[in-house]
Structure 1
Amino acid sequence: MKFRALVVEKTADKRFLRTIRERSLADLPEGDLLVRVHYSSLNYKDALSATGHPGVTRHFPHTPGIDAVGEVVSCDSGAFSAGDRVIVTSYDLGMETDGGFGQYIRVPSSWAVWLPENLTFRESMALGTAGLTAALSVLRLQRAGVHPEAGEILVTGATGGVGSMAVAILSRAGYRVVASTGKSGYEEFLTALGAARIISRDEVTAFAEKPLLAEKWAGAVDVVGGATLAAVLKSTRYGGTVTCCGLVGSTELNMNVYPFILRGVSLLGVDSVQCPYDIRQELWQRLASEWKPAHLERMIRECTLAGLEQEIAAILRGGITGRVVVNLLES
């Protein structure tokens, strides 16, 4: 059987060429689960894979796409039946294992979870890894004892995929959300997602060279890292919690220990790649019900495989707001 996929190749001069081509099921890696992909989504990690970043993908030719949703064609393990609707995210999908930017994927069945009844294929990929990561951040805040009555929750990088999802999910969960962004002109977008206040990135990092800043946040979801994360930790209130899941600002965290030993602030790392199956399934159920963003459609821009090239360029330069959903049925 033939199908279409975005294929990234490494050329002799160490450049990376992206083309849409016809592939065969025999080209796919080993695995007990074969899925016909209906939708995928574009994440920053996909753009890195598509441009040959060695921290994501080292072996080519390769098909990126860390998110996929579709119908089961076959499952040798018996965990699923033909026609079952499943979501596949994280693990090695789209990194070294051919991913969701192809009309078929073959993976271990342990990577898949059931698509909740209250989610369409398209909605699940509007959420995707970004929604799962944001939901895991909210869950960790809750389990750390940060509840809506505790005070304002800051979300940094709020116009991006994870950030915008965090704003929407926190709002649905009853929190008063302060959205921080380095971009201007997105007040209406963030307010529609549920942000109570919108502040600039510069306001978050003002006077960040000081050892401590005035206490502001009961908790925070940081997707930026670097100096922004340091400033957030310094301005979190006594006993507050900050989750960290991003590094677009920097991988470095240069700061003192005062927020931790003088205010009892907690920093929790969030990783959705190896998230245990039971938590993953719980989060997808919540995303399909009480945590489902109220205005999910406002966050979506749809494209086909043919439109991915310009979207990859846009996300690499920080020009994407919300979520790009990739329609594989029309590719």
Structure 2
Amino acid sequence: MQSSFKALVLEQQENGPVASIRELTNEDLPAGDVLVQVEYSSLNYKDGMILNGRGGLVRHYPHVAGIDLAGTVLESSDPRHRPGDAVILTGHRVGETHWGGYAQRARLHGDWLIPRPAGYSARQAMAAGTAGLTAMLAVQALDDHGLHPDAGKVLVTGASGGVGSLAVRLLARLGYTVAAVTGRRENVNYLHQLGAQEVLPREELATGPAKPLLSERWAGCVDTVGGDTLAHVLAGMAYGRSVAACGLAGGAELHTTVLPFLLRGISLLGIDSVLCPADRRLAAWERLGETLPGPELDAITHEIGLDEVPAHAERILQGQVRGRVVVRLDPDDR
């Protein structure tokens, strides 16, 4: 085993955190019972927030971000994980309160790791990553609340992003009629290729509704935006239907009334993939692998190196990243 490895380390400066690639050793890593050789990580909206010092998600520096990782076990004192095992990690506040995947090695707690899903390479597992898990949990929640393919159109907001792109593809693969919302006209063909039958401009839903209740338009929704967009969507839901809310790119506040809930029986379903229980997490990954084979993930994935992460982190906050971005951790690049 090489004595040192590369990591993208955040240091707190006067005007916020600054990222730089540094050489570290195993002794620099935080506590944990499993040492992993990281092969791939990914870039998520939360990673963009962390790298740009937003949201107060990181309290202690220096810090290694990256909320997802896939790799191979190097050392383990946890009997569930043996050297050579292919594993992945998403959530558990890794990349926030514990050093994450933007390093060629990570020391982690065994409870946080699961076997890499069958049929996925490390790259493909990260092409899914937190975004794929979140999208699958959202779709499953809608299913559990009675949504079926014949119910009508299912809306996906923020459809060009990671969670949105995967939600569109999952819903289409499962036979739903999908309407996708995007703020970028150049992504219309991309969303149709993912399976959206209709693509709406962001402006149509970007402001709060003119009335507490609008015409019943949507049989279900995966909302990755929040804010006024979510308020608008709630007002236009069909009777007895549900919205799975899993993002806040459009704001954390929700200005609405109780009328959609009281007069139409709407359900607002909160989706959390960070602390999702292990049984639900494993079931979601299994269904994800069955529904979206690895080659389909390749088609919506862009690969970058560790040194490119800071620039892409700014772009993802500006809504300029389409689909999924995976981060390559070259084991021989030391």
Q: Same fold (TM over 0.5)?
A: yes
For 2:11, the aligned partner's letter is E
- The residue aligned with 1:162 is 163
C-alpha separation in 1, matches of 2:206 and 2:178: 18
C-alpha separation in 1, matches of 2:208 and 2:104: 50
C-alpha separation in 2, matches of 1:283 and 1:174: 18
| Superposition TM-score, scaled by structure 2 size | 0.95
C-alpha separation in 1, matches of 2:200 and 2:52: 33
C-alpha separation in 2, matches of 1:312 and 1:231: 28
Contact 1:211/1:258 (<8 A) preserved: yes
C-alpha separation in 2, matches of 1:293 and 1:117: 10
- The residue aligned with 1:9 is 11
Query: How far has the Cα of 1:202 moved from its partner?
Result: 2.1
Query: How far has the Cα of 1:252 moved from its partner?
Result: 0.8
Residue deviations 1:70-90 (CA, integer Å, cap 9, x gap): 001122121111111011110
Identical amino acids, percent of aligned pairs: 45
Query: How far has the Cα of 1:148 moved from its partner?
Result: 0.9
Contact 2:51/2:310 (<8 A) preserved: no
Query: How far has the Cα of 1:207 moved from its partner?
Result: 7.4
- The residue aligned with 2:232 is 231
- The residue aligned with 1:172 is 173
For 2:9, the aligned partner's letter is V
Contact 1:223/1:246 (<8 A) preserved: yes
Structure 1: segments with no counterpart, 5+ residues = none
User: Secondary structure of 1:18's match?
Assistant: strand
C-alpha separation in 2, matches of 1:4 and 1:205: 42
C-alpha separation in 2, matches of 1:300 and 1:291: 13
User: Secondary structure of 1:170's match?
Assistant: helix
Q: Is 1:263 aligned to residue 260 of structure 2?
A: no
Q: Is 1:32 aligned to residue 10 of structure 2?
A: no
Q: Is 1:297 aligned to residue 312 of structure 2?
A: no
Residue deviations 1:123-142 (CA, integer Å, cap 9, x gap): 11011101100000001001
Contact 1:242/1:268 (<8 A) preserved: yes
Return 109-118 or 48-57, whichever deviates more: 48-57
Query: How far has the Cα of 1:209 moved from its partner?
Result: 2.3
- The residue aligned with 2:121 is 120
Residue deviations 1:103-154 (CA, integer Å, cap 9, x gap): 0111110101111221111111011101100000001001111111111100
User: Secondary structure of 2:285's match?
Assistant: helix
Change in CA separation of 1:100 and 1:319 when aligned onto 2, cut-off 3 Å? same
User: Secondary structure of 1:313's match?
Assistant: helix
For 2:209, the aligned partner's letter is A
- The residue aligned with 1:138 is 139
- The residue aligned with 1:85 is 86
C-alpha separation in 1, matches of 2:285 and 2:303: 21
C-alpha separation in 1, matches of 2:245 and 2:307: 34
Structure 2: segments with no counterpart, 5+ residues = none
Residue deviations 1:273-316 (CA, integer Å, cap 9, x gap): 00000111111111211244773222111011111122112112
User: Secondary structure of 2:170's match?
Assistant: helix
C-alpha separation in 2, matches of 1:292 and 1:239: 33
C-alpha separation in 1, matches of 2:250 and 2:30: 34
For 2:4, the aligned partner's letter is K
- The residue aligned with 2:110 is 109
C-alpha separation in 1, matches of 2:229 and 2:240: 19
